[in-house]
Structure 1
Amino acid sequence: MSLSPQWMDELRSRISLSGLIGRSVRVTKAGREFKACCPFHNEKTPSFTINDEKGFYHCFGCGAHGDVIRWMTDHQGLPFMEAVKELALQAGMEVPAPDPRAAKKAEQQKSLHDVMQAAQAFFVRCLAEERGGEARRYLASRGFPAQIVRDFGFGFAPESRTALKEALSAFPDEMLIEAGLRIVVEGKEPYDRFRGRLMLPILDPRGRVIAFGGRILTAEKTDAPKYLNSPDTPLFDKGRTVYNLHRAGPASRQSGRVVVVEGYMDVVALAAAGIGEAVAPLGTALTEHQIERLWRLVETPTLCFDGDSAGQRAAMRAITRALPLLRPGHSLRIVTLPAGMDPDDVVKKQGAAAMEGLLDEARSLVDVLWETERDAAPLTTPEDKAGLKSRLLAHCDTIQHPDIKSLYRRELTERFGELAFARKERPPFQPRQGNGPRAKGQPWKPAPAPLAEHDKARMLRIGTGPSSSLLAAVIDGLICNPQHVARHSEALARLRPENPDTCAVIDALLVLADSGQPLESQRLRTILLERGLRLPSAQDYAGMRFGFLGSGGDSAGEELAEAIALLVELPAVEEALGTATKRHEAEFSDESFAEQQRLLQRRLALLARLGQMGRARAAL
């Protein structure tokens, strides 16, 4: 069949798009366009527009977009050619005659649909008969209501190699074989594929039976697979078919979600619990074609996997399949069930509300990708960490959309940087021995010796800015509470302010603390002034009212300790940030960027804490 562009344009021009959509959705006139609540996602305020002049519809909420043919395929669930034929009938147009090969294939498929429908009727009939007793008992043990059993079309395949052939004697054996209902083995007579199994029909988007799935009922058959599906046939492509899609589509438009589970029995269990928008792949990992089909229903399907190692592997396979396909607004969410449980277990043991709660807590694709790769192997050596980074970047490289690829690289690189270059916690401060007043009969401890050249690298230079203001406040606090100077002498000795007056005050405090003489605030202030030193005032620390400036006792000591720790770390971080920025400008590597960002975030956190300390006290 040859459908020329001219013929397709003529078909579109003869169909009123607003009239077509208006048959199933309430539309209202809005200027030169029409508006409606979007039928592709659940909304209360209309964001779905229809433009007859341009011949397309568009939803500003979910991004659904298309013409009359796309409406018939996406909303009505028709295959492309069926949609064209339906529209041509409405438009009074003759569809171009198909070529002989296409006509033969269409007739063949039509006949196979008849075969599959006859097989379904046979399986349903057997379930109701005496030979279906074991299958009925199994369904009762699963707690499936009678309505669910009818809706999903459960049946039973007798334990016989020829029962189906005899029941469908009106069809030649070749058709039963082509439909996947019978098996041919060289040198043997064909025999029925499904025997002694609970049967479940697999339907296409139009609700026609195209394949079957069968669950074994006899426990003695240890060599037989627990579940058996039809093979690929002219009707059935398991890599493109999504089980229960024809029911989940309408349900998803009400709930705004699609839940993907591992097997069709999980789908039935969720439907029995009131979650009707569940679907499943068919014996394979979720394929690219199936992901695209799901994205036609919702932008972010929710994948729900069992909480065992097989479930985790299935989640990772789905993620790797989805990464190359990602596009703006379209992704996946992942739910991992408790260990050893499937959806039916959760519903039975914890109730439908528990299942809803798990679905509400679904994690994003990037979160699961990061956590899975992070936990895949130990990260004890630099080589281990480099391996993690390599795996993450390899995943990013598979993403086709340039913006999403760039954003994934940045997100995962930042997470890797936080993990690989995490700031180590500073050990608790240990006061040096002999800094306090000397015990009776003990010799004086000398003042700290001048720093050697190799120690100068540990010096913390403090210029202007927040560090300088904080230092002025700390010095004022130590003068108010001189009993705490000795405790922090090692930290104070590392500080090297650019202001020489501030250096002189720090040196004097250290010398007086080492003298062993008891210090009192007013007396200390007098000594420093007599030496001609300029002492800090409130103007030097921007008027912030730290608690250690107006109180004494243990609370002042604790607040001073926090302020000094902040004072030591802030200039160190600022210096490291400057170095990291220069390195990143020179190298422009992922590692240099991660280190720069980590230090920048730490600096912002320290400045925020400094502001909190000052504001909190200013409000008192």
Structure 2
Amino acid sequence: MAGRLPREFIDDLIARIDIVDLIDARVPLKKSGSSFMARCPFHSEKTPSFSVSREKQFYHCFGCGAHGNAISFLMDYERQSFPEALETLAALAGIDLPKTAPDPGANPAVSLQPIYDILDRAAGFYAQQLRDHPTAEQAKTYLLKRGLTGEMAHRYRIGYAPPGWNNLPADWPRTPLIQSGLVIETDRSSYDRFRQRIMFPIRDRRGRTIGFGGRTLGDETPKYLNSPETAAFKKGKELYGLHELLEADSKPRRILVVEGYMDVIALAQHGMTEAVATLGTSTSTEHVRVLFRFTREIVFCFDGDTAGHKAAWRALEASLPLLREGREIRFMHLPSGEDPDSLIRKEGRDAFDSRIREAAPFSDYLFRTLQTDLDLRSVEGRAALQKQARELLDRLPVGIFKEMMAQRLGEITGVVNTAPPPRRTENRPRSPSGQPRPPSAWRDLVSLLLHRPQLAGLISPDVRARLTANPRAGPLIARILEYTDQQAAPHAGMLFEYLRETPEGTLASNILRRRLLTPEDGMETEFVGALDRVLALLREDRLNQLIDKSKHGQLTDDEREELRKLTGGKS
């Protein structure tokens, strides 16, 4: 589904679906007060902590912090993409999806289906060339030398691009050939991109061919050539072998990320079908996000050389924004001169599986790598580790995992209270002692608004301006108020959708992972109290600003009057 559906349609779709019925059909729920409870489907637990609210059209786990609306549940539980979740909900509601507007910046002349069709035809063409072309013997010899069976070649649709500049059929439509990257067009001529290469079709999760990787059999460079970025192929979001992995196991216990196409295929041939590979690029945050939709454990498997360690560190950094309790990432480096293909053939599946189980946990790998060139016997070494680690830990989502990583850093460096400081602390309200205030009042205020957006009606216009001016919480509060102004009957499920894929939405998700202890019938009272506390912080912060200015400069008449009122109010 290209483009974006109108927000009005998505809001209407969410309003038509009862999230309780949707989840109960997949995870049996039991009534508990005004909500419904179950054991959380996203982490192991003995006591039910997964709560679903019909009033809010929202679910929240008090154990692992999982939360969202009907769309989020389908994406997380059934591993559907955002468009697929909308299609599922539309089918349940008995309505058709409207035609979508193209994405901003997209070429309206590019229709994806002809591109998918021509890429699929090309995959069949290359597979036939591997079987029948007279120059394919070298390719067959290479594949046999790598131990590839016919079954694996068929499963992964491996093919062969013969030598020559124009092997693709001349009667195929030219436009999709060029748009797909199969043919390169110049001012004077056009020619096939892939020549004399073993061809590895790259398929998306739905099994559609979206591009190719080609391994040279001659002296051409590069050794591996990938399709260019196209409307159908985004290297930073796709993973080789994911379609085949999910065909073998739709809910894998773990996913192994390796470096090459043949590594994926060789492991599958030995019965290890849980491997994928990035497409000639570093591991991206989007890669990690995609994988965590299908598993709770990711193991990065790279060479043991310098390049392999750099690739692992880039994968670690890409993973930081997505790591929280209930998710696990580990790192495995191979012996010198080995790749997964050679190692599993040499040692066997059981020994290779044992290596995976012994892979370094994320925490060990991070701290061990940072300590490589530091002397922790010295103050300088411990201080350097403290600084470097804090910069990384600050990128972790708020939660138990982040707190435990901070504790681990404190144990290593001997520094007490090593929790990473919130960003932009210079903008947080400060007490007269000059210390940053705990953000609990602001967090409580925003958390209650997220759970019950109707509470926005209790905020007066003049207070709105003061809240939204706050540099940390202000943008999120402004977004919430923007939503509630548009809705006669706002609820948490729709608000969550309104915030999706916005910077404020990321902050909202981090806040929602914290447990809200306030019962439903006490939310309004708690909100009024939180609002009073926030306003008191703002008054005190303004008072401190005026006092500080009076010591270093001249106050205006209006500022002196404001200071008089503030000090009078305090007394």
Give TM-score, length-normalised by structure 2: 0.62
Match of 1:260 among 253, 257, 276: 257
Distance 1:127 1:39 in 2: 45
Structure 1 letter corresponding to 2:82: F
Partner of residue 167 from structure 2, selected from 142, 163, 166: 163
- Output the CA distance in 1 between the equivalents of 2:51 and 2:137: 54
Please give the alpha-carbon distance, in whole angstroms, between the structure 2 residues aligned to 1:14 and 1:39: 24
Distance in 2 separating the partners of 1:259 and 1:62: 24
Shift of 1:69: 3.1
Which amino acid in 1 is paired with 2:131? Answer: A
Q: What residue in structure 2 maps to residue 201 of structure 1? A: 201
Q: What is the CA deviation profile of residues 499-548 of structure 1, one whole-angstrom value per residue up to 9, with x for unaligned ones?
A: xxxxxxxxxxxxxxxxxxxxxxxxxxxxxxxxxxxxxxxxxxxxxxxxxx
Q: 1:89 to 1:118 in 2, by over 3 A?
A: same
Tell me by how many angstroms 1:156 deviates: 0.6
TM-aligned CA deviation for residue 233 of structure 1: 0.5
Describe the shift of the 1:48–1:392 C-alpha distance in structure 2 as closer, same or farther (beyond 3 A): closer
Give the match for residue 110 of structure 1.
113
Matched residues in 2 for 1:315 and 1:217: separation?
A: 29
What is the Cα deviation at residue 274 of structure 1? 1.1
Cα separation, 2, equivalents of 1:380 and 1:36: 50
Q: For residues 286 and 143 of structure 1, do their structure 2 counterparts lie closer, same or farther at Cα, with a shift above 3 Å needed? A: same
Classify 1:399/1:69 alpha carbon distance in 2 versus 1 (closer, same or farther; 3 Å). Answer: closer
Secondary structure of the equivalent of 1:301?
strand
Kindly provide the amino acid, as one letter, of the partner of residue 181 in structure 1: L
- Contact in 1 for aligned 2:29/2:38 (Cα 8 Å): no
Cα separation, partners in 2 of 1:5 and 1:381, compared to 1, 3 Å: closer
Question: Partner residue of 1:611?
Answer: none
Q: Judging changes above 3 Å, is the alpha-carbon distance between structure 1 residues 345 and 60 closer, same or farther for their aligned structure 2 residues?
A: farther
State the Cα distance separating 1:264 from its structure 2 match. Answer: 2.1
1:138 matched to 2:139? The reply is no
Between the aligned partners of 1:279 and 1:318, the Cα distance in structure 2 is 14
Structure 2 residue aligned with 1:178: 179
Higher mean C-alpha deviation, range 332-341 or range 196-205: 332-341
Q: Which residue of 2 aligns with 1:84?
A: 86
Is 2:414 the partner of 1:408? Answer: no
Counterpart residue identity of residue 375, structure 1: T
Q: Secondary structure at the match of 1:355?
A: helix
8 Å CA contact 2:161–2:194 kept in 1: the answer is yes
- Cα shift readout 1:339-362 (whole Å, capped 9, x = no counterpart): 221111221000000111011112
* Cα separation, partners in 2 of 1:35 and 1:327, compared to 1, 3 Å: closer
* Matched AA of 2:221: A
Q: Evaluate the alpha carbon distance shift between residue 57 and residue 246 of structure 1 in structure 2; reply closer, same or farther with a 3 A threshold.
A: farther
Could you tell me which residue of structure 2 aligns to residue 149 of structure 1?
153
**In the alignment, is residue 123 of structure 1 matched against residue 126 of structure 2?**
yes
Shift of 1:179: 0.8
* CA–CA distance in structure 1, aligned partners of residues 402 and 39 of structure 2: 33
Question: What is the TM-score with the length of structure 1 in the denominator?
Answer: 0.57
Alpha-carbon distance in 1 for matches of 2:235, 2:17: 35
CA distance in 2, matches of 1:51, 1:394: 36
Change (3 A) 1:56 1:203: farther
Q: What is the deviation of 1:20? A: 6.3
Q: Give the aligned partner of residue 100 of structure 2.
A: 98
Q: Which moved more, 1:59-68 or 1:193-202?
A: 59-68
Unpaired runs of 5+ in structure 1? 419-620
Aligned residue pairs total 408
Instruction: Determine if contact 1:261/1:280 at 8 Å carries over to the other structure.
Output: yes
**Distance verdict in 2 for CA 1:128–1:62, change over 3 Å:** farther
CA RMSD of superposed structures (Å) = 3.8
Output the CA distance in 1 between the equivalents of 2:331 and 2:137. 38
Quote the offset at 1:58 in angstroms: 7.0
Kindly report which structure 2 residues correspond to 1:1-40, keeping only aligned pairs within 5 A, or say none. 3=5, 7-15=9-17, 30=30
- What secondary structure, in the 3-state scheme, does the structure 2 residue paired with 1:340 have? coil
Q: How does 1:312-391 map to 2 (within 5 A)?
A: 312-376=309-373, 387-391=384-388
- Shift of residue 144 of structure 1? 2.0
Residues 210-262 of structure 1 show CA distances to partners (whole Å, capped at 9, x for unaligned) of: 010111122xx0x5111111111001110111222223346565541111111
- Does 2:243 align with 1:241? no
Q: CA shift at 1:36, angstroms? A: 9.2
Distance 1:4 1:74, change over 3 A: same
Report the 3-state secondary structure (helix = DSSP H, G, I; strand = E; otherwise coil) of the residue aligned with 1:333. strand
* Separation in 1, partners of 2:137, 2:180: 27
| 2:437 corresponding residue in structure 1 | none
- Aligned-partner Cα distance in 1 for 2:99–2:282: 39
Q: 1:73 to 1:400 in 2, by over 3 A?
A: closer
Secondary structure of 1:195's partner?
coil
Quote the offset at 1:21 in angstroms: 7.1
Aligned to 1:205, the other structure's residue is in SS state coil
* Alignment match, 2:488: none
Q: Which residue of 1 aligns with 2:268?
A: 271
**Contact 1:58-1:65 within 8 A present in 2 as well:** yes
Question: Partner of 2:283: helix, strand, or coil?
Answer: coil
| Letter aligned with residue 197 of structure 2 | R
Distance 1:197 1:109 in 2: 26
- 1:295 pairs with 2:295: no
Q: 1:68 to 1:397 in 2, by over 3 A?
A: closer
Given residue 108 of structure 1, which amino acid in structure 2 is its aligned partner?
S
SS in 2 for 1:292: helix
**1:252 touches 1:297 (CA, 8 Å); kept in 2?**
no
1:318 deviates by 1.1
| Distance change >3 Å, CA 105–CA 215, structure 1 → 2 | same
- What secondary structure does 1:198 align onto? strand
Alpha-carbon displacement from aligned partner over 1:536-583 (angstroms, at most 9, x marks no partner): xxxxxxxxxxxxxxxxxxxxxxxxxxxxxxxxxxxxxxxxxxxxxxxx
Q: Give the C-alpha shift of residue 95 in structure 1.
A: 3.2
Using CA pairs under 8 Å that are at least 6 residues apart, name the structure with larger relative contact order, 1 or 2: 2
CA 1:320–1:13: 2 relative to 1, 3 Å: closer
Q: CA deviation at 1:155?
A: 0.7
Go from structure 1 to structure 2 and tell me whether the alpha carbon gap of 1:48 and 1:238 turns closer, same or farther (over 3 Å shift).
farther
Task: Decide whether aligned partners of structure 1 residues 387 and 67 sit closer, same or farther in structure 2, where only a CA change above 3 A counts.
Answer: closer
**In the superposition, relative to structure 1, how do residues 208 and 143 fare at CA in structure 2: closer, same or farther (>3 Å)?**
same
* CA distance 1:44–1:249, shift in 2 (3 Å): farther
Aligned to 2:485: none
Q: Contact 1:48/1:57 (CA < 8 Å) preserved in 2?
A: no
Q: CA deviation at 1:375?
A: 2.1
Equivalent residues of 1:17, 1:50 under 8 A apart: no
**Other-structure match for 1:211:** 211
Identify if the C-alpha distance between structure 1 residues 62 and 411 changes in structure 2 by more than 3 Å, giving closer, same or farther.
Answer: closer
Q: 1:233 to 1:37 in 2, by over 3 A?
A: farther
Flag structure 2 segments of 5+ consecutive residues without an equivalent.
416-571
Contact 2:184 2:190 in 1 (8 A): yes
Residue by residue over 1:399-428, the C-alpha shift from the partner in whole angstroms, topping out at 9 and shown as x without a partner, is: 45376555434423422449xxxxxxxxxx
Q: What is the Cα deviation at residue 149 of structure 1?
A: 1.1
